[in-house]
């Protein structure tokens, strides 16, 4: 047995870590805070990382670093989705950062640090690796939320996020210590073997409860969602966009590695816990969103409801359910990116839109962006023809296939309730009379990306088979 790690398997992580240093140094020596150097180096980093990940890890099924790191097809899909959503967030953010005098290399460095943490999490095969990846990504996100140092609202949001995030990390670590105490190992494979052989291990069951709480916080599932509305509203919109996209895929990675791989033998126990989280998230997310007037806050509660759907798929505990949850997280990230981009794209009376009422007259003033908003809201509602319909259909089918028909029916009811607040947004944008000055403050390239985002939601809704096949292949 060789104790020398196979560094080639971890080439994507090594590349991103090296490029973080280069981006940091390049930003130091390039004059002018609005320099594009950090921006383009960051996009290059993500593009090369995607190529390295697919080339080195697709179908590999290999482990290294004392079996703490696993390279497999699931990790490839998770990482490539994270790269794509992070790149989309960076592209959308650039113009807003320049406009608000926040265009600094630190934004891209912290963003890449978060990506690196999510990558480590996606390939974790040990409790230690999971915790390292989770903390690396979480600490970067805390700093990003507080990125606008001149904003008291951002500082308040960051403090809430940090305090609650630290509490959840402590709970997760406590659960890991119980699992270690019950199995004597940090390796997920060995933990799974002990869990399968000793289904009545009370220490493992207690540890599982704490782990579910930690995972639920990272998802933003009710009742551990209290940070989402304030952080989404208080953080700079580029940070909110980033936070609402790639980290959702990372949360799926956390669940699949920690709960699915490590404690899959306790599916009967954690399915019951997830059912409670699903019901609460769907109910609170959709009902609370009905009364929101702030657009970012509405999207925050909308996120909580979509987390309920993601957990509905994962709750099934089958390959079909995991693939459905992964598909939902990826496609929701694409849709949410476009929705938050609308906030950055439009200004009323010289200020970024805040309330839903600021969208009055959007169709009369900027027809094409109103049509993109229509596609995004339709997708979040789950209307056929958009990718959101197939995402909801897949997770509901997964729940039905494991006998939870009543839960699937409840999800459909709450999906209908959710349609009311999405249609409220469209009613304001399409039918209310224009008032004041509603302007589009982005260059043509930015608008092209937004139009492409809306088109992707439509095309993935009409032709979802390829992405569904990739998600299934990752779990085969």
39-48, 98-107, 319-328: the lowest-pLDDT one: 98-107
Q: What is the mean pLDDT of residues 115-139?
A: 93
For residue 27, the model assigns a pLDDT of 81
> In this structure, are residues 129 and 68 in contact, taking their beta carbons and an 8 Å threshold?
yes
Q: State residue 468's pLDDT score.
A: 92
57 band by pLDDT with thresholds 50, 70 and 90: confident
Q: d(Cα 435, Cα 342) in Å, to the nearest integer? A: 18
- Mean local confidence (pLDDT), 60-78: 87
Span of 75-79, 91-95, 334-338, 409-413 with lowest mean pLDDT: 91-95
| DSSP state string for 231-261 | HHHHS-HHHHHHHTSHHHHHHHHHIIIIIII
Mean pLDDT of 387-395: 93
ω before 255 within 30° of 0 (cis)?
Answer: no
pLDDT band at 1 (very low <50, low <70, confident <90, very high): very low
Work out how many domains the chain is built from and give that number: 1
DSSP secondary-structure letter at 294? B
- Concatenated DSSP letters of 141-200: HHHHHT--TT-HHHHHHHHHHHHHHHHHHHHHHHHHHHHHHHHS--BHHHHHHHHHH-TT
Q: For 94-98, 276-280, 385-389, which range has the lowest pLDDT when averaged over its residues?
A: 94-98
Mean pLDDT of 249-268: 89
Tell me the per-residue pLDDT of 193-243, one tens digit each, with 9 for 90 and over: 988 887 777 888 899 999 999 999 999 898 898 899 999 988 888 999 999
Residue 281 inside a domain? The answer is yes
CA distance 323 to 153: 38
- The answer to the question of residue 199 being in a domain is no
User: What residue numbers bound the domain in which 423 lies?
Assistant: 268-476
User: For residue 355, what pLDDT is reported?
Assistant: 83
Mean pLDDT of the chain: 89
SS3 349: coil
Give the list of residues 6+ apart from residue 443 with CB closer than 8 angstroms, or none. 95
pLDDT at 35: 67
What's the confidence (pLDDT) of residue 351? 73
pLDDT in tens, 157-183: 899 999 999 999 999 999 999 999 988
Nearest-angstrom CA–CA distance, 380 and 374:
10
Between CA 112 and CA 119 the distance in angstroms is 10
Q: Which residue has the higher pLDDT, 114 or 474?
A: 114
In this predicted model, what pLDDT tens digit does every residue of 338-368 receive, in sequence order? 999 888 888 776 677 778 888 888 888 877 8
Q: What percent of the chain has pLDDT over 90?
A: 54
**Tens of pLDDT, residues 445-472:** 788 888 899 999 999 999 999 999 998 9
For residue 293, is it within any domain?
yes
- pLDDT the model gives residue 149: 83
CB 382 within 8 A of CB 414: no
Assess whether pLDDT exceeds 80 at residue 438. no
State what percent of residues in the chain have pLDDT above 70. Answer: 97
């Amino acid at each position: 047995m060789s104790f020398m790690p196979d560094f080639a398997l971890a080439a994507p992580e090594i590349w991103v870590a090296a490029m973080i240093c280069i981006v940091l140094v390049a930003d130091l020596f390039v004059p002018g805070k609005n320099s594009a150097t950090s921006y383009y180096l960051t996009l290059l980093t993500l593009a090369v990382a995607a190529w390295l990940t697919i080339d080195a890890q697709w179908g590999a099924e290999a482990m290294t670093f004392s079996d703490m790191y696993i390279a497999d097809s699931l990790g490839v899909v998770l990482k490539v989705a994270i790269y794509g959503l992070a790149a989309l967030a960076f592209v959308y953010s650039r113009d807003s950062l320049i406009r608000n005098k926040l265009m600094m290399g630190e934004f891209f460095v912290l963003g890449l640090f978060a990506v690196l943490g999510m990558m480590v999490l996606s390939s974790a095969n040990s409790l230690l690796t999971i915790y390292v990846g989770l903390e690396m990504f979480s600490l970067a996100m805390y700093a990003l939320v507080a990125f606008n140092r001149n904003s008291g609202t951002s500082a308040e949001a960051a403090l809430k996020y940090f305090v609650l995030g630290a509490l959840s990390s402590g709970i997760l670590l406590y659960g890991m210590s119980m699992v270690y105490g019950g199995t004597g190992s940090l390796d997920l494979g060995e933990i799974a073997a002990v869990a399968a052989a000793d289904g009545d291990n009370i220490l493992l069951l207690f540890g599982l409860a704490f782990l579910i709480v930690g995972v639920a916080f990272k998802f933003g599932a009710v009742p551990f969602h209290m940070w989402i509305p304030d952080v989404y509203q208080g953080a700079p919109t580029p940070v909110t966009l980033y936070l609402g996209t790639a980290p959702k895929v990372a949360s799926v990675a956390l669940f699949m590695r920690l709960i699915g791989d490590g404690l899959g033998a306790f599916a009967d126990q954690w399915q019951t816990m997830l059912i409670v989280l699903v019901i609460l998230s769907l109910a609170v997310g959709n009902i609370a969103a009905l009364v929101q007037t702030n657009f970012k806050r509405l999207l925050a509660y909308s996120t909580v409801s979509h987390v309920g759907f993601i957990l509905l798929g994962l709750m099934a505990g089958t390959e079909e359910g995991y693939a459905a949850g992964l598909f939902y997280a990826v496609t929701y990230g694409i849709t949410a990116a476009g929705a938050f981009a609308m906030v950055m794209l439009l200004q009323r009376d010289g200020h970024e839109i805040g309330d839903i009422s600021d969208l009055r007259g959007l169709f009369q003033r900027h027809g094409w962006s109103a049509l993109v908003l229509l596609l995004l809201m339709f997708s979040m509602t789950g209307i056929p023809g958009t990718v959101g319909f197939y995402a909801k259909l897949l997770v509901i089918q997964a729940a039905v296939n494991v006998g939870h028909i009543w839960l699937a029916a409840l999800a459909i009811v709450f999906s209908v309730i959710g349609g009311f607040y999405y249609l409220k947004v469209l009613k304001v944008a399409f039918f209310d009379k224009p008032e004041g000055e509603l302007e589009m403050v982005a260059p043509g390239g930015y608008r092209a990306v937004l139009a492409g985002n809306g088109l992707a939601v439509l095309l993935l809704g009409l032709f979802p088979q390829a992405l569904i096949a990739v998600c299934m292949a990752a779990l085969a």
